[in-house]
Amino acid sequence: MGICPCWNFRLFELGFLRNPVVFSQRQLLRTYYAAAASSALLNDSLVFDESPPLVEVSVVDEVKVPSNSSCGRRRRKLYPFVVRVFKTLDWEVVREMRFSKAVKQYGFPCSIHAFRIIVHVFASQGMLTEVYNLLRAIVYFCKATNSDAFELFPQLLDSPLNVAGSAVVFDVLIKVFASNTMLENAVDVFMQAKKNGLVPDIRSCNFLLKCLVESNRVELVTGLFEDMKDSGPSPNVYTYTIMMNFYCRGHDAQELDIRRATEILEEMEKIGKRPTVVTYGTYIHGLCKVGYVDVALRVLEEMRTHGILPDVFSYSVLIDGFFKMGKIEKGLDLLEEMGHYQIKPSVVSYSSLFYSLCRSGQVDISLNTFRNLVDTGYEFDGIAYDILIKGFCIQGDMDSAEELYEEMIGNNIVPSAFTFDNLINCFYKMNHFEKALKFLNIMLQCGFMPDIITCNIIVDGYCKEGCLDAALKFMDEMQYQGAILNSYTYGAVINGLCKEGQSEKAWELLPVMFKKNLFKEVVHYSILIDGFAKNSNFKKALMIYTRMLKVGVTPDVVTYTILINLFCRRGEMFEAFSLFKEMTGKGIEGDAVSYTSIIAGFCRVREMKKALELYDEMLRKDLSPNVVTYTCLIHGYCMLSRMDIADRLLNDMKKNDVAPDIVTYTAMIGGYWRVGSVGKALELFSEMKVKGIAPDDTFSRVVTLFHTGLFTKEEAE
């Protein structure tokens, strides 16, 4: 067993030289090598005789006598363990004294001193696995006790006068820190090693660089890479490939930078580092992600000119890029080219083809291609089935989608959550809610949780079916399973309850929504206000509106229209018109519905002048009055016996292609009847029947009897 000369100090610390005499450096090394060569020369009873003081000898043969500190006494108690390891190099001996156990018994300073010696002994013999495990135990201890791991570098340094002996140790320490996501510590070891004249091994640096990339540590990645180029170790092909991946993959804090990736490739070629197939493949992937598929194809051709045959990954990402752009023919050419080079296309490549065909509406062709490939021996995974199922779902062919699902099961391919989500969503859209529930139950039995979109679809479906209790029960079950419902989920239930006249039950959901900060959308407030308004609960409708303003939610045109309607129905036109002016004053433009609401309110209280002014304002704003707007105005003027204005409004209505309905005709006929224009009333009645508008039974019977002379005008009224 060869031992490096860096250990000349350690023999005296261990007490290998029992007598306090001065040895020259050459004698010391000879004694050390002899001791290392034969474990028989080491006798524990002699080596650990504690009666003589410990002596530390320097290379200049100066005798130093250490103080009789408690740490010194503790250190001597650790020496039998250290010597056993030194004599045997047996890992089982080390396991008897874990670092945390040593610290508990002897304290951290003495323990780190002893383990430093053991680490360097193993390192000198190339036992890197043991070095890694020892350093990991020390790092874990620091992490668990919140100790300053940045201090480990000086504590593990063999000797300031012999830093070269610590190179391997710090290479391993970098890996330990990096693999345990202590990346700042790893970078610190890298920097401290270089300050002490050590150049870390390129493999350790590449490992650290890779970990930094995976953790999206943008500044540390670029800093380490530049430092390596400036002062070593010189980046190799693998280093550049890591950086290529960094710029081509994109990260949370680092967008895909194809320009920088191109510079990396150019830099490699400039300094004579030949890119590998992985480097090129990564670059091709990046180009395809940003849509430069044609450029990526030229890179593929460049690979071949450099004698590098593209692999299945390079082809697959390029084929996927062409298919996603809709260039199916180009992708098929590349699939054929793969066969020419005897590269078997992967399932992923064909899945990209299926996706492209399905997206372009060629689901049948995609299915036929799938069947042919299965016949030639391809075994597809669930992804291919998912693509085909979604393709049929988009086309509305749910029978074919369900058949493929059954085929998956028959081939022992477990459907994914994506499969179920697609089927549930599409069955719901096709108004097959029972089928959607069927697949939901299967999904839950398979142990999959529906995503929030699917949850909302199920809740919405229950609400539309009028099964509100089932919707609430489903919501409770999903939350129990850990699903996080959103504001849309609750909004659907609130809307359903309000439509069913159960506004009070919707009110009970508010505390839960407030607690989860989900009751913050203007639509939720509007639904509840409308619900209570329709239930004639004026007090709670205004209470919600007040709460809305208090929490800073700005009412929209729908909210204002609901409130305006509420006041109009109560005949409180001052309040209604105040809200209307408030709405427009806030820059919220009224629409045809809001104008119709306020016009109807004024017509109801016979303030026709104000109603007509608002009607004219509508026209100036290019808002088209609807049948309700005209009918309200016509009815109002008919009740005032102003048939001239009512008739003008009816003509405007027809001129603007707004067809009168039964209510409009009834108002006009009643108005003419009231002023004694029976002929005009009968004329409108005939016009109504010609247009296919059937009057209700009572109205029809009265007009018919009057027309035959069996009923007088006074009796009809």
Most confidently modeled of 56-65, 80-89, 220-229? 220-229
pLDDT of 26 above 80? no
Crossing angle (nearest 10°) for helices 468-480 and 487-499 = 160
pLDDT for residue 36: 32
d(CA 463, CA 507): 16
pLDDT for residue 67: 43
Poorest-confidence range of 69-83, 130-144, 597-611? 69-83
Confidence of residue 87 (pLDDT cuts 50, 70, 90): confident
Structure tokens at 66: 């250490």
- Which superfamily does CATH assign the domain made up of 513-708 to? Tetratricopeptide repeat domain (1.25.40.10)
pLDDT for residue 508: 86
* Strand-pair partners of 56: 64
Poorest-confidence range of 62-76, 99-113, 448-462, 522-536? 62-76
Q: What is the mean pLDDT of residues 128-146?
A: 92
pLDDT for residue 11: 33
Signed CA dihedral, 510, 515, 518, 523: sign only: positive
pLDDT for residue 659: 92
Note the pLDDT tens digit of each residue in 160-184.
666 777 889 999 999 999 999 999 9
pLDDT of 713 above 80? no
Q: Which percentage of the chain shows pLDDT scores above 90?
A: 47
Poorest-confidence range of 215-229, 438-452, 511-525, 692-706? 692-706
pLDDT of 214 above 70? yes
Note the pLDDT tens digit of each residue in 661-712.
999 998 999 899 888 888 888 888 888 888 888 776 656 655 555 555 444 4
pLDDT for residue 696: 64
pLDDT of 275 above 60? yes
Q: What is the mean pLDDT of residues 490-511?
A: 87
First to last CA, the chain: 124
pLDDT of 442 above 70? yes
pLDDT for residue 8: 35
**Which of residues 223 and 76 earns the better pLDDT score?**
223
Helix (H) or strand (E) holding 373: helix 363-375
Query: Mean pLDDT in the chain?
Result: 83
pLDDT for residue 96: 82
Poorest-confidence range of 9-18, 215-224, 258-267, 701-710? 9-18
Rounded (5°) CA angle 531-535-539: 85
Residues 612 and 590: beta-carbon distance below 8 Å:
no
377: Cα separation from own chain's centroid: 36
Note the pLDDT tens digit of each residue in 622-669.
999 999 999 999 999 999 999 999 999 999 999 999 999 999 998 999
Q: Which DSSP string corresponds to 503-516?
A: HHHHHTTHHHHHHT
Note the pLDDT tens digit of each residue in 280-333.
999 999 999 898 999 999 899 999 888 898 999 999 999 999 988 888 899 999
Confidence of residue 42 (pLDDT cuts 50, 70, 90): very low
List the one residue out of 188, 213, 210 whose CA is nearest residue 200: 188
Confidence of residue 53 (pLDDT cuts 50, 70, 90): very low
Q: What is the mean pLDDT of residues 371-399?
A: 90
Q: CA dist 137 to 129, 173, 226, 385, 512, Å?
A: 12, 11, 32, 47, 48
pLDDT for residue 68: 44
pLDDT for residue 517: 85
pLDDT of 31 above 50? no
Q: What is the mean pLDDT of residues 331-357?
A: 89
Q: What is the mean pLDDT of residues 400-425?
A: 92
Does residue 257 sit in helix, strand or coil?
coil
d(CA 420, CA 427): 11
Confidence of residue 16 (pLDDT cuts 50, 70, 90): very low
**Which of residues 28 and 218 earns the better pLDDT score?**
218
pLDDT of 527 above 60? yes
